[in-house]
Structure 1
Amino acid sequence: MPSPWGSRPVPRHTAERGSVTAEFATVVPAVLLVLACCLGAVQVVGQQVRLTDAAAGAARSLARGDSTDRAAGLVDRAVPGTSLTSERRGEFVCVRLSVPSAFSPFAAFGLTLTAGSCALAGGL
């Protein structure tokens, strides 16, 4: 029996064929980009924690009277590529560390991590 609209109706499942594949192909890159950014953020947070710990260790080392080279060596082993600056503030020895982000996309945007710590000079 012919259709009242003059042509044969297209079944619904045939008209939507491939739409799920197209939607999936559109969503997958976005999901992967978000996942990569999340993993990069976790990496940067881990680097910040290591940098903070290295700053505390370097401040304690300098407060005990170790050389700046020794403290810089300790810091470089913990977080490679770190620059160290130290200063005396009264009875305290303070250290400031900075390093570019280890996650390349964040480093490309100029993300630099910094950490500082102070220790009582002559302390254990």
Structure 2
Amino acid sequence: MIGDDRGSAAAEFAVVVPAVVLVIALAAATLAGTSRQVRLEQAAAQGARLAARGEGDGRVREAAAGLVSGARVAIGSDGDFDCVEVSAPSGVPLPLPALTARSCALSGGL
């Protein structure tokens, strides 16, 4: 049976499907990580604004951590600026470093 092509389509399909599934899974993980980074940036900006207005550290941490689950919040100052750094795991089941966002606002702002 030389030249018999029966079953070759099934074999090719079996090889291609895992690759397509992997590409789709990586694309979904990339979108999830990007979304989490955007939320971290929003949380850091909100925290910095609250800190600059003179809100307490507890309120700043609560507001920032409320936007991103599992976030760690660090509050500090840099000259005339109040700064907040928010970091959290990437949320993707891959060995990736933690995501971090930092934002500063002028102290005493309204």
TM normalised by structure 1 equals 0.84
Alignment correspondent of 2:109 = 123
TM normalised by structure 2 equals 0.94
In the TM superposition, what is the alpha-carbon distance from 1:29 to its structure 2 partner? 0.5
In 2, distance between residues paired with 1:52 and 1:75? 10
Alignment correspondent of 2:71 = 82
Q: Secondary structure at the match of 1:16?
A: coil
Q: Secondary structure at the match of 1:117?
A: strand
Q: Secondary structure at the match of 2:26?
A: helix
Q: Secondary structure at the match of 1:104?
A: coil
In 2, distance between residues paired with 1:73 and 1:63? 15
Unaligned 5+ segments in structure 2 are: none
Unaligned 5+ segments in structure 1 are: 1-9
Q: Who wins on radius of gyration, i.e. which is larger?
A: 1
Alignment correspondent of 2:98 = 112
After TM superposition, what 4+ stretches of structure 1 lie above 6 angstroms from structure 2?
none
Q: What amino acid sits opposite 1:21 in the alignment? A: A
Q: 1:45 aligns with which of 13, 23, 34?
A: 34
Alignment correspondent of 1:22 = 11
In 1, distance between residues paired with 2:99 and 2:41? 10
In 2, distance between residues paired with 1:73 and 1:11? 71
In the TM superposition, what is the alpha-carbon distance from 1:11 to its structure 2 partner? 8.3
Percent identical across equivalent pairs? 43
Q: CA RMSD, aligned part only?
A: 1.3
